[in-house]
């Protein structure tokens, strides 16, 4: 009886993971699908396999629009994640190291930007920019992404430090280190894996964001998710699968690095 | 005397915490809180015949939100989000339970497999569902291969394709908090219940489920709130007939550009979310632990 139940759960778990990963695997597979000619246009199928080809990737590498979008997304994610790492780490450190009034309120304050529907955040920021006459561009997207990326870094660093021993830093200070020295020499190395994991998560969340970028972008600034979204509106194609595969490759690599950091320390 | 000194040094330390929080609080205040206040103000403003915004108090935007066209959308949004949340919990619970009872060395691997999709692009994941559910898609090919269907039904552009998309994207958000509470569960309770003669099913119903309820509540918050404001899933998998409030917000702001009305619509959405948070507030900060 026990065995049967266990087998059922095992099979169920397998099916759930199949459900989570099969669509992604199929998407990647069909990015290598061979195209065919319809009139003068080369098209391809995302559901019927015709043969292996890398033609869609070759097409991508020749497209200046893709390179521009990739450049914009990388730039935005880089600046966002570094800025969020600094602010998120300072806040997490304050929460772990000190007891202060309003700590619980601050937890809620930091959770809200992650869980509130992103579209409400995005449109409110757009109205903010419009009201104060802020010129829209890369920088306005970066600010928009930082509001939730700080929360991501905060959450990851805080979770990582739940069992942090503050007496270590006090010991360093009683041995003559200044608070800043104690922080850099003692606390920061302990924090480092958490900060790195949080920064990587912030990078992917910014890199993959569609909604906030669409609302707060300036004329002519297009990010990779915006480019994919606008192409989907014209219908599915192996070319979109190929761009999507590139985003999966970038985020997936960062996710694995993050797990490797967290498990090896 | 000594005690007094101790206290003042503690207070000094606490003030240091506030210094560390200043940059974050200031940033979030300016770019997160102030914009929400601005939306509130816009929701009572109006546009003149030239489409310019005039800040003269009016409730007309809210009256329009509560016309049948939009109350239907709100009802649809609420229903889809509720169904998706309940299904995420039902589908996610056995998985969280299984992982929670696994040996430690497998736990971290299984958890990683649950969380990784959350790291991958939301647009890409949602897009990947189209090739599965379309009429000549993979699902129909598999079903036809096993002789289960004769014609090729269109699974997309329906309420169930939207719900499937929601489960696909938000399942990790349900699994993680439930797993956390299963893992914390003291297994001695279960042995006690069983040694007192309860069978597996009764033990689950009377012991395991009540003790893991905080995780279920946290999971429902983490799934319901993003899905009630969802834009992309109904956009790609639902189509116009299954548009949710998020799609109308997108259209009102980015296509039509009617800021006052869009602001009122979004205030209504924010109020729904805040009500939901208020109901669950006592579980909120305590139980909502995210395990990225």
ipTM score for this prediction = 0.92
Q: Strand pairing partners for B53? A: B47
Facing residue for B38 by CB, picked from A23, A47, A127: A127
Find the CB nearest B136 among A47, A95, A152. Answer: A47
Least confident of A120-124, A166-170, B216-220: A166-170
**DSSP line for B75-123:** HHHHHHHHHHHHHHHHHHHHHHHHHHHS-HHHHHHHHHHHHHHHHS-HH
For residues B220 and B237, the answer to whether their CB atoms sit within 8 Å is: no
Do the beta carbons of residue B173 and residue B134 sit within 8 Å?
no
How far from A36 is each of A51, A228, A231, A237, B110, CA to CA, in Å?
11, 22, 19, 12, 41
Binding-face residues of A in 146-175 toward B, CB within 8 A? 146-147, 150, 152, 154-156, 159
Q: Which of B282, B236, B165 is nearest to A236 (CA)?
A: B236
What is the enclosing helix (H) or strand (E) of B173? helix B159-184
pLDDT tens by residue, A24-50: 999 999 999 999 999 888 898 998 999
Name the residue of chain B whose CA is nearest to A91's CA: B21
Section A87-102 average pLDDT? 90
Q: How confident is the model at residue A102 (pLDDT cuts 50, 70, 90)?
A: confident
**SS3 of B29-63:** HHHHHHHHHHHHHHCCCEECCCCCEECCCCCHHHH
CA distance A251 to chain B (A): 6
- Contact between A186 and A180 under an 8 Å Cβ cutoff? The reply is no
Q: Which two tokens stand for residue A120?
A: 């409400």
User: What is residue B1's predicted lDDT score, i.e. its pLDDT?
Assistant: 39
Nearest to B226 among A20, A115, A126 (CB): A115
User: Which residues of chain B make contact with A146, given a CB cutoff of 8 A?
Assistant: 27, 31
Count the Cβ atoms, other than its own, within 10 Å of residue B43: 23
Q: Is the pLDDT of residue A191 over 80?
A: yes
Tokens of residue B289, six digits: 């632990």
Domains (ranges, CATH) in chain B? Answer: 72-287 (1.10.3720.10)
A231 to chain B: nearest residue by CA? B127
Which of B137, B246, B284 is facing A47, going by the closest CB pair? B137
Tokens of B58: 């009016």
| Residue numbers of B between 53 and 82 with CB closer than 8 Å to A | none
CA separation for the pair B74, B90 (Å, rounded): 24
In the predicted model, residues of chain B with pLDDT beneath 70 are: 1-13, 281-292
Q: What gap in Å lies between CA B74 and CA B269, rounded to an integer?
A: 9
Closest B-chain CA to A226: B123
CB nearest to A128's CB, from B34, B171, B230: B34
Rounded to a whole number, what is the largest CA-CA distance in chain A?
Answer: 80
The DSSP code sequence of chain A is: -HHHHHHHHHHHHHHHHHHHHHHHHHHHHHTTB--EEETTEEE--SSS---B--HHHHHHHT-HHHHHHHHHHHHHHHHHHHHHHHHHHHHHHHHHH---TTHHHHHHHHHHHHHS-HHHHHHHHHHHHHHTTPPPSHHHHHHHHHHHHHHHHHHHHHHHTTT--THHHHHHHHTT--HHHHIIIIIHHHHHHHHHHHHHHHHHHHHT--HHHHHH--TT---HHHHHHHHHTT---HHHHHHHHHHHHHHHHHHHHHHHHHHH-
pLDDT value, residue A2 = 64
| Among B64, B36, B34, residue whose Cα is nearest residue B256 | B64
- Chain B closest CA to A40's CA: distance in Å? 24
Find, in chain B, the residue whose alpha carbon is nearest to that of A197: B292
- Closest residue in B to A229 (Cα) is B123
What was the pLDDT predicted at A1?
55
**What is the rounded CA–CA span in Å between residue B127 and residue A23?**
9
How far A145 CA lies from chain B's nearest CA (Å)? 10
| pLDDT confidence tier of residue A108, bands split at 50, 70 and 90 | confident
Of B113, B119, B137, the CB nearest to A251: B119
pLDDT given at position B130: 94
Task: With H, G, I as helix, E, B as strand and everything else as coil, classify residue B166.
Answer: helix
Cα of A65 to nearest chain B Cα, Å: 18
Find residue B47's DSSP bridge partners.
B53
Answer whether A244 sits within 8 Å of B250, measured CB to CB.
no
- Is the pLDDT score of A265 beyond 70? no
Asked if B101 and B94 touch (Cβ cutoff 8 Å), the reply is no
Q: With CB atoms and an 8 Å threshold, state whether B31 touches A125.
A: yes
Q: Which of B13, B171, B218 is nearest to A166 (CA)?
A: B13
Instruction: Compute the distance between CA of residue A124 and CA of residue B38 in angstroms, rounded to an integer.
Output: 7
Output B152 or A217, whichever has higher pLDDT.
A217
| Separation between Cα atoms, residue B233 and residue B249, nearest integer Å | 14
B238–chain A nearest CA distance, Å:
13
Query: Chain B contact for A10, CB < 8 A?
Result: yes
- pLDDT value for B284: 54
Give me the pLDDT at residue B283, please. 61
| Interchain contact, A197 vs B292, CB within 8 Å | yes
The pair of structure tokens assigned to A65 is 């629009």
pLDDT confidence of residue B10: 55
Kindly state the DSSP code that residue B229 receives in the 8-state scheme: T
| Partner residues linked to B54 by β-bridges | B46
Mutate to test the interface with A, among B126, B127, B254, B277 (most CBs of A within 10 A): B127
| A53 touching chain B per CB within 8 A | no
- What pLDDT does B289 receive? 54
C-beta of residue A190 within 8 angstroms of C-beta of residue A161:
yes
Place of tokens 């909120």: B284
Question: Which one of A81, A117, A204 would you mutate to disrupt binding with B, by most B Cβ within 10 Å of its Cβ?
Answer: A117
Q: Does B138 touch chain A (CB under 8 A)?
A: yes
Instruction: Please state, in angstroms and rounded to a whole number, the distance separating the CA atoms of residues B65 and B69.
Output: 8
Size of interface A-B (CB pairs under 8 A): 242
Query: Which residues, listed in sequence order, are joined to residue A38 by a DSSP beta bridge?
Result: A41
Question: Sign of torsion, CA B250 B255 B257 B260?
Answer: negative
Out of A114, A119, A252, the one facing B120 most closely (by C-beta) is: A252
Please answer yes or no on whether A20 and B231 come within 8 Å at the CB atom. Answer: no
């Amino acid at each position: 009886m026990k065995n049967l139940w266990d087998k059922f759960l095992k099979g169920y778990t397998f099916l759930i993971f199949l459900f989570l990963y099969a669509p992604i695997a199929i998407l990647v597979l069909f990015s290598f699908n061979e195209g065919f000619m319809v009139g003068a246009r080369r098209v391809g199928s995302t559901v019927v396999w015709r043969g292996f080809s890398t033609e869609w990737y070759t097409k991508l590498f020749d497209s200046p629009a893709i390179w521009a979008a990739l450049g914009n997304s990388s730039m935005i994610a880089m600046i966002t994640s570094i800025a969020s790492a600094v602010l998120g780490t300072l806040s997490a450190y304050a929460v772990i190291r000190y007891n202060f009034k309003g700590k619980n309120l601050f937890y809620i304050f930091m959770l809200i930007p992650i869980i509130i529907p992103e579209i409400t955040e995005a449109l409110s920021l757009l109205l903010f920019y419009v009201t104060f006459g802020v010129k829209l561009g890369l920088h306005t997207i970066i600010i928009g992404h930082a509001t939730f990326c700080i929360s991501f870094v905060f959450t990851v660093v805080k979770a990582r430090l739940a069992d942090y021993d503050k007496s270590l830093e006090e010991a360093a200070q009683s041995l003559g280190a200044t608070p800043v020295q104690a922080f850099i020499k003692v606390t920061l190395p302990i924090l480092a894996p958490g900060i790195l994991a949080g920064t990587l998560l912030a990078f992917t969340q910014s890199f993959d964001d569609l909604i906030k970028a669409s609302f707060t972008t300036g004329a002519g600034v297009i990010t990779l998710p915006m480019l994919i979204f606008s192409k989907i509106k014209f219908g599915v194609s192996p070319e979109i699968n190929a761009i999507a595969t590139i985003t999966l490759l970038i985020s997936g690599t960062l996710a694995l690095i993050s797990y490797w950091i967290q498990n090896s320390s | 005397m000594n005690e007094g000194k101790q206290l003042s040094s503690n207070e000094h330390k606490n003030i240091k915490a506030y210094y560390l929080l200043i940059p974050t609080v200031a940033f979030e205040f300016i770019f997160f809180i102030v914009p929400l206040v601005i939306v509130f103000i816009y929701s009572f403003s109006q546009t003149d015949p030239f489409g310019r915004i005039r800040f003269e108090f009016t409730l007309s935007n809210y009256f329009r939100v509560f016309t049948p066209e939009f109350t239907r959308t709100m009802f649809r949004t609420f229903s889809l989000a509720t169904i998706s949340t309940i299904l995420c919990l039902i589908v996610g619970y056995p998985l969280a339970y299984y992982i929670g009872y696994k040996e430690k060395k497998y736990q971290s691997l299984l958890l990683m497999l649950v969380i990784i999709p959350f790291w991958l692009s939301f647009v890409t994941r949602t897009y990947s569902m189209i090739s599965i559910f379309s009429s000549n898609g993979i699902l129909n090919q598999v079903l036809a291969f096993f002789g289960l269907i004769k014609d090729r039904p269109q699974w997309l552009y329906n309420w169930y394709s939207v719900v499937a998309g929601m489960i696909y994207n938000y399942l990790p958000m349900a699994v993680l908090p439930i797993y956390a509470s299963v893992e914390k569960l003291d297994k001695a309770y279960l042995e006690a219940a069983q040694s007192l003669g309860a069978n597996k099913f009764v033990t689950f119903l009377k012991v395991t489920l009540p003790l893991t309820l905080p995780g279920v509540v946290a999971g429902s918050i983490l799934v319901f709130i993003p899905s009630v404001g969802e834009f992309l899933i109904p956009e790609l998998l639902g189509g116009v007939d299954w548009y949710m409030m998020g799609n109308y917000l997108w259209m009102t702001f980015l296509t039509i550009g009617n800021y006052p009305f869009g602001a009122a619509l979004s205030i209504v959405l924010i109020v729904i979310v805040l009500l939901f948070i208020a109901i669950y507030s006592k579980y909120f900060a305590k139980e909502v632990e995210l395990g990225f």
